[in-house]
Chains A and B, each alone.
Chain A
Amino acid sequence: TQLLEQSPQFLSIQEGENLTVYCNSSSVFSSLQWYRQEPGEGPVLLVTVVTGGEVKKLKRLTFQFGDARKDSSLHITAAQPGDTGLYLCAGRNAGGTSYGKLTFGQGTILTVHP
């Protein structure tokens, strides 16, 4: 069973601060995805990283995939109240009996105070 450990579980910060969320595993994933979910809604895909060492930027969000494709991080610069939500990392398996399966981390509940 492939597991993803996500940390921190909770994060409460002031507007303008920077933060980093980590996602780690002992297993190799073929790709790593990050989602953001607001209460009462489904998760929305932010980014997919596929290549080891890959870095992607989405406005104030920077995503990194570890060289060994076992870990990933999400860094938010100058957080805003609109960034508040549940952030989920998810690793995608490929091949074998887990074909197409997505393994989620435990999630990080981010609250950004004005």
Chain B
Amino acid sequence: DTEVTQTPKHLVMGMTNKKSLKCEQHMGHRAMYWYKQKAKKPPELMFVYSYEKLSINESVPSRFSPECPNSSLLNLHLHALQPEDSALYLCASTPGAGDNSWGYTFGSGTRLTVV
């Protein structure tokens, strides 16, 4: 298995809703990432988990709450989002966080629309 699987693929939610995005990989990777991407723009880092511990939070608003229940699973809990949070949310993984040569394996993303 060489994939990062993200669900759901599309999500529409109201500003008062609570929803979660899920990311799963079975490659034995120990670092996992959440990125946010607006149309025709590069991905922007949100969170990095290394060995199931949060190692980087890029000053993300608290309405986004990450969780890493185990080494294969990464969640992003969403609450009270704003329309400007609408974007493609990408999950990625690497074998670890420190080796220069490791490329990221990205999932296909969740297209989130906040109404």
Contacts and interface: CB of A to CB of B under 8 A. Distances in A.
Interface of A: 30-31, 33, 35, 40-45, 48, 50, 86, 88, 90, 92, 94-95, 97-102, 104-107, 109
B42 A33 contact: no
A109 to B, nearest CB: 6
Nearest to B39: A39
Given A42-B92, A42-B109, A48 B56 contact: no
Nearest to A86: B40
Given A105-B42, A106-B42, A107-B40, A98 B103 contact: no
Contacts of A95: 98
The 8 closest A-B pairs by CB, nearest first: A100-B97, A42-B106, A104-B42, A45-B103, A31-B100, A30-B100, A107-B42, A43-B106
Given A86-B40, A99-B50, A100-B98, A33 B103 contact: yes
B42 A100 contact: no
Interface in B30-57: 31, 33, 40-45, 48, 50, 55-56
Highest count of chain A CB atoms <10 Å: which of B33, B97, B104, B106: B104
B101 interface: yes
Contacts of B31: 100
Contacts of A106: 41-42
Interface residues of B, number: 30
Nearest to B44: A104
B105 interface: yes
A42 B56 contact: no
A102 B104 contact: yes
Given A45-B104, A45-B105, A100-B56, A88 B42 contact: yes
A36 to B, nearest CB: 11
Contacts of A102: 33, 45, 104
B48 A40 contact: no
Given A31-B100, A100-B96, A107-B42, 12 more contacts: A42-B92, A42-B106, A42-B108, A42-B109, A43-B104, A43-B106, A48-B100, A92-B100, A101-B45, A102-B104, A104-B43, A109-B40
A97 B55 CA distance: 9
